[in-house]
Amino acid sequence: KDNFGNIRGFVREFVVGLKAMFKGLFDVITNMVGLFVDFFKGDFEGVKEHFQGIIDGMVNGFKGLVYALLNLLAIIGIAIFRILKGAFDTTIDAIEEVIVGLMNWLKDKFVWMLQKVASIISAISSLPGLGFLSGKSESLSNLANTLKATTITNPKGWGIGAEMQLDPWTAARTGQ
């Protein structure tokens, strides 16, 4: 799996923060026990040391808690970003698919129109004085056939756009 946004590092540091918090909690508990034992023994120097240990444990536990929470916020932020990025990418892909579909539909309608115009020109080119149109009908038919064979696609990573295998205008003029 990928390590998006160094999420593994944040998880690792979250665990480090939890360990520090629980170690601080353990230090507080053990120093409290030691404080009561030394108090009842009359060892007030030990009471002072254990009291300082309780304070240190509380500070270290609190620092561990804050460290863990900050890393947890980073983890949640990365997760939310990944969700939003996935939703955005999906939406963009859907929009691109609709646009490419619309472009293909328009291309098909344009091909149909060219075929009809070519057949009309072919029909009227036999009329007196319109013989100069006879070659135009064939050119339009070639253009329509070339366009019909061309598929508009949206290759990934290129953004919204069309890729055509053959330039239809050149193909119609050259007869390819």
Q: Tell me: the pLDDT tens digits for 33-55?
A: 999 999 999 999 999 999 999 99
Q: 33 and 46 in contact (C-beta within 8 Å)?
A: no
Task: Specify the pLDDT at position 108.
Answer: 86
Q: 57 and 28 in contact (C-beta within 8 Å)?
A: yes
Per-residue tokens: 80: 């939310």
pTM: 0.56
Residues 63-117: tens digit of each pLDDT = 999 999 999 999 999 889 888 988 998 888 888 888 888 888 888 888 888 888 8
Distances (CA, A) of 27 to 48, 63, 90, 127: 15, 14, 50, 106
State whether residue 153 is helix, strand or coil: strand
State whether residue 65 is helix, strand or coil: helix
Task: Specify the pLDDT at position 118.
Answer: 83
**Percentage of residues of the chain with pLDDT beyond 70:** 84
Nearest to 64 by CA among 98, 117, 24: 24
Distances (CA, A) of 26 to 56, 58, 158: 11, 10, 57
* pLDDT band per the 50, 70, 90 thresholds, residue 147: confident
Per-residue tokens: 91: 């939406």
